[in-house]
Chains A and B, each alone.
Chain A
Amino acid sequence: MTAILSYIKKDSLIHKMAGTTKFFFFLLWSIAAMITYDTRVLVGMFFCGCILFKLAGLKWKEVRFALVFMFVLMTINLVGIYIFAPEQGVVIYGSRQVIAKLFWHYTVTIEQLFYLFNFFMKYMAVIPIALLFILTTNPSEFAASLNQIGVSYRISYSVAIALRYIPDIQRDYREISQSAQARGVELGKEAKLRKRLKNSAAILFPLVLSSIERIETIANAMELRGFGKYKKRTWIMRKKMEKRDYAAIAFGVVILGISLYMIFHNEGRFYNPF
């Protein structure tokens, strides 16, 4: 019953790197993937991502749920693009090779398929790195690195504290819902949607109340131990930037550079094989 996507403690090169590095690398990587539609760059990035993913020692089992969820979203997105702009590929690539006619004005063209494939690859290039960032960065260390890059420590600590208390609130929720169910509150699929919504209020009410009690304790405990005393604070989980961290960021910059260069080279964001 832990959060679906959270830090998994392991001992790998990626895990050892500083949270700041991973955060910056993730940013650079995402921008690179966002600006280009060049298939060669995207495919290259995807493979690089897979290798890094492997390097972190992460297992398929650990991310299965998240991946399935993202694939569902992605499919919806791609179908949506097709429905609203079935001729987008034709506009971009300037040619029209029809494979099949569907209904009304919907046809399948090689150009549209290629365009959708590029779109798909954009996701594929970012997903491994995003997962990597979430799964290999210790939240407290991440809070430390956010603070380091200039985010106020009150804000960055609240990220860590939210993650800290999620399991506690989940447990509260479970206990409250069990006792509510014993009194006949139905949350299962048998109940009608309206009833279910109404019933969940019966759980939310005590959950919110007990959470408020908890927040008061947390706030007191933090204040009593001097949280907010100075404008700055130190972090025991902060990692120092080492050579490999700078190398990683440099690598990210290179990728972004390639992505930018290809825009000039292709005279646009798209690579046109047609």
Chain B
Amino acid sequence: MCSGTFFLIYRIGWQKMKKPVVVFENYEYKYRSQKKPTLQEINLTIYEGERVIIVGASGSGKSTLAHCINGLNPFSYPGVQKGSLKLFGQEVSQLGIFGVSKYVGTVLQDTDGQFIGMTVLEDIAFAMENDRVNQEEMKVRTFREAEKVHLTDKLEAAPHDLSGGQKQRVSLAGVLVNKVPLLLFDEPLANLDPATGKEAMVLIEEIQRNTNTTVIIIEHRLEDALDQGADRIVLMEEGRIKADCTPQQLFCTNLLQKAGIREPLFLTALTYAGINLQEEMGLANIRELTLKEREKEQVCRWFYEKEEISCNKKSTPLLEVNKLCFGYEEGKNALSEISFTIAQGEMVALVGQNGAGKSTLAKLLCGFERQQKGEIYWKGKDISDFGIKKRAGYIGYVMQNPNQMISKPMVWEEVSFALELAEREPSYIKEKTEEILKVCGLYQFRNWPVSALSYGQKKRVTIASVLVQDPEMIILDEPTAGQDYGHYTEIMEFLVSLNQRGITILMITHDMHLMLEYTKRCLVCAKGRLIGDTSPSLLFVDDKLLEEANLKETSLFGLAKLCDLPPKEFIDRFIEKDSKIRKQMIRQEKLYSERKESAR
């Protein structure tokens, strides 16, 4: 209590000293094309030098809020605003988009799209060129910014020679050249592998510390975004601010769960262990967490309650890959000597850093590219020479972006497309398409235009359109990238239901939560080699493997260490408990929706 009061006084005093940088007052924003305002009753002040994370499920208005800050609203996406929004004491509506760009530097999520220049040098200089800076000065300043983001040896490189993390650093340097006092990051972690994401957060922290820049980060991967801590978290829900407080304060409430945002895993574990979360425990990240002896004992007790996990059934191998080699250019191997076996009915994660060869491996398995050496066996039969179309009858491939796969305007047409092309009998097409639509929960949408569906539903359409060809295995590239917890769970539970119907699933992913929660096995790639074939819990206790694959240890590992428990077993215990709870939740939700149906 005492420390809380002290903290309050400290905060008030501190806020008086600090200059307000962004001030929303009774702000409301309505897009021209929308009937209802997307943002309502926004009252928010961000002070100089603060780091604020804005979280919220998709559609909660967090991107709209960001667009209001950087001027895209209303200048690029017209709309009507009420109330006031001041940037550094000036009304945004009077500043215009270029006026805003003097104060706010925005780093977008799409690392490729925002790379405008032909080379790193040009991209960093872009903002200065528009500001009519003379050439000599531009060269000096470009070099200086490149130094800040550790890219001086890459100035001449083109975007396709850079990794995702490097491209993001270029974008960062590109806004830093303007010496903007406020940096806005729109989902900076969405396209990065875990270790690169961590590096990005460290770099942001470093820049902030050195320049007293204010940083606003929009992200729903809260645990990763909090890696370097944050002064405040702003939680958005349905266009309103639901919470605006320190991470510690927020984690003591259940507001995050209600808004469909995932809290850091170690906090979930503590909750499972029955520990009451308190502010002074240092909840923002695992390194700051302190537990009393009594609480540690509580965690230990929970840990030893574990149930015996049933032994895995022996299963038959479905896909065998033997010493696969492939290179796009002669002499350079994108993949070398890859061998593994996947058994029927497995759900496997394929992980590793950007450019490690994960997608290339998937393309080889689907016959999109032809291996130079090695064989692929399907139930013992050699399918190495099968072409792309023939392979699709065994292994289906689902791309990351559903818009890249959807080629018909209507759901039914899209799903039955492959069968129409194969010129199957109309009666079979009708029967099969209906069956798959029902399996995928899309039957009621069969006559809908695809464009009217949500992202998760579109994803299901693309999976359905692959499933009509009767593959026994599907490969998915980043099935949940950029999705909030609600959509993530929706997509993943759908995949689990497919898996239970006997479809083998291989997922390429950066999401360590996904791997931990939904798979029992992971293949780990690095630099074109398969360096690990293990269980997620074993991967997380193997420092060397984690580092080689550019992955990041989970906070559960830290918690286990804090309580002197064996990490691997601790993680296993967590997964066991977590999946049980999730099943209960889904059951309840089903009951609830069924009750709602019958009530109608």
- Chain A residues at the B interface, C-beta cutoff of 8 Å: 9, 138-140, 160-161, 163-164, 167-168, 172, 175-176, 178-186, 201-203, 205-207, 209-210, 213-214, 217-230, 232-238
> What is the minimal beta-carbon distance from B400 to any residue of chain A, in angstroms?
9
* Mask of B353-397 contacts with A, CB within 8 angstroms, 1/0: 000000000010011100000000000000000001101100011
Interface segment out of the listed B224-232, B314-322, B404-412, B484-492: B404-412
Residues in B neighbouring A230, C-beta threshold 8 A:
130-132
> Quick check: is B110 within 8 A (CB to CB) of the other chain?
yes
Judge whether A236 and B142 touch: CB under 8 Å.
Answer: yes
Interface segment out of the listed B262-270, B414-422, B510-518, B536-544: B414-422
> What is the minimal beta-carbon distance from B503 to any residue of chain A, in angstroms?
16
> What is the minimal beta-carbon distance from A242 to any residue of chain B, in angstroms?
14
Report Cα–Cα, A240/B421, bound state, in Å: 58
Of A138, A176, A182, the contact of B388 (CB 8 Å cutoff): A182
> Quick check: is B44 within 8 A (CB to CB) of the other chain?
no
Residues in A neighbouring B159, C-beta threshold 8 A:
164
> What is the minimal beta-carbon distance from B161 to any residue of chain A, in angstroms?
11
Of B70, B156, B388, the contact of A181 (CB 8 Å cutoff): B388
Task: Indicate whether A206 sits within 8 Å of B129 (C-beta atoms), given known contacts A164-B118, A182-B388.
Answer: no
> Quick check: is B271 within 8 A (CB to CB) of the other chain?
no
Of B122, B368, B399, the contact of A237 (CB 8 Å cutoff): B122
Of B138, B174, B404, B405, the contact of A236 (CB 8 Å cutoff): B138
Query: Closest residue of chain A to B109, judged by CB?
Result: A217
Q: Which residue, A168, A209, A227, A236, has most C-beta atoms of chain B within 10 A?
A: A236
15 chain-A/chain-B pairs, Cβ below 8 angstroms: A163-B118, A164-B117, A176-B404, A179-B397, A182-B392, A183-B466, A184-B389, A184-B392, A184-B469, A209-B406, A222-B126, A223-B75, A223-B97, A226-B178, A234-B129
Query: Closest residue of chain B to A202, judged by CB?
Result: B407
Query: Closest residue of chain A to B98, judged by CB?
Result: A229
> Quick check: is B294 within 8 A (CB to CB) of the other chain?
no
Query: Closest residue of chain A to B134, judged by CB?
Result: A234
Residues in B neighbouring A206, C-beta threshold 8 A:
403-407
B436-484 CB contacts (< 8 Å) to partner A: 465-466, 469
Residues in B neighbouring A225, C-beta threshold 8 A:
101, 116, 126-127, 130, 174-175, 178
Judge whether B404 and A179 touch: CB under 8 Å.
Answer: yes
Add 5 more A-B contacts to A210-B401, A220-B108 (CB < 8 A): A202-B408, A220-B72, A221-B114, A227-B130, A236-B135
Residues in A neighbouring B98, C-beta threshold 8 A:
226, 228-229
> Quick check: is B595 within 8 A (CB to CB) of the other chain?
no
7 shortest A-B CB distances, which residue pairs?
A217-B113, A221-B114, A184-B421, A226-B130, A236-B125, A202-B407, A183-B418
Judge whether B127 and A183 touch: CB under 8 Å.
Answer: no
Query: Closest residue of chain B to A182, judged by CB?
Result: B392
Report Cα–Cα, A203/B408, bound state, in Å: 10
Residues in B neighbouring A209, C-beta threshold 8 A:
403, 406
Judge whether A183 and B469 touch: CB under 8 Å.
Answer: yes
> Quick check: is B139 within 8 A (CB to CB) of the other chain?
yes
Report Cα–Cα, A140/B122, bound state, in Å: 8
> Quick check: is B555 within 8 A (CB to CB) of the other chain?
no
Judge whether A178 and B363 touch: CB under 8 Å.
Answer: yes
Judge whether B403 and A229 touch: CB under 8 Å.
Answer: no
> Quick check: is B133 within 8 A (CB to CB) of the other chain?
yes
Residues in B neighbouring A181, C-beta threshold 8 A:
368, 388-389
Judge whether A217 and B108 touch: CB under 8 Å.
Answer: yes
Report Cα–Cα, A141/B97, bound state, in Å: 28
Judge whether B113 and A226 touch: CB under 8 Å.
Answer: no
Residues in B neighbouring A180, C-beta threshold 8 A:
407
Judge whether A218 and B116 touch: CB under 8 Å.
Answer: yes
Judge whether A182 and B407 touch: CB under 8 Å.
Answer: no
Residues in B neighbouring A167, C-beta threshold 8 A:
160
> Quick check: is B65 within 8 A (CB to CB) of the other chain?
no
Query: Closest residue of chain A to B133, judged by CB?
Result: A234
Query: Closest residue of chain A to B75, judged by CB?
Result: A223
> What is the minimal beta-carbon distance from A61 to any residue of chain B, in angstroms?
14
Judge whether B101 and A224 touch: CB under 8 Å.
Answer: yes
> Quick check: is B504 within 8 A (CB to CB) of the other chain?
no
Report Cα–Cα, A186/B389, bound state, in Å: 9
> Quick check: is B149 within 8 A (CB to CB) of the other chain?
no
> What is the minimal beta-carbon distance from A118 to any residue of chain B, in angstroms?
40
Judge whether B113 and A179 touch: CB under 8 Å.
Answer: no
> What is the minimal beta-carbon distance from A273 to any residue of chain B, in angstroms?
49
Q: Which residue, A161, A181, A210, A229, has most C-beta atoms of chain B within 10 A?
A: A229
Task: Indicate whether A222 sits within 8 Å of B388 (C-beta atoms), given known contacts A206-B403, A206-B404, A229-B131.
Answer: no
* Mask of B85-115 contacts with A, CB within 8 angstroms, 1/0: 0000000000001100100011010101111
> Quick check: is B210 within 8 A (CB to CB) of the other chain?
no
Judge whether B118 and A139 touch: CB under 8 Å.
Answer: yes
Report Cα–Cα, A176/B396, bound state, in Å: 14
> What is the minimal beta-carbon distance from A265 to any residue of chain B, in angstroms?
46
Query: Closest residue of chain A to B108, judged by CB?
Result: A221
> What is the minimal beta-carbon distance from B67 to any residue of chain A, in angstroms?
9
Judge whether B139 and A236 touch: CB under 8 Å.
Answer: yes
Report Cα–Cα, A222/B129, bound state, in Å: 12
> Quick check: is B342 within 8 A (CB to CB) of the other chain?
no
> Quick check: is B276 within 8 A (CB to CB) of the other chain?
no
Judge whether B130 and A179 touch: CB under 8 Å.
Answer: no
> What is the minimal beta-carbon distance from B69 to any residue of chain A, in angstroms?
11
Judge whether B130 and A229 touch: CB under 8 Å.
Answer: yes
Report Cα–Cα, A171/B37, bound state, in Å: 38
* Mask of B37-65 contacts with A, CB within 8 angstroms, 1/0: 00000000000000000000000000000
Residues in B neighbouring A183, C-beta threshold 8 A:
392, 417-418, 421, 465-466, 469
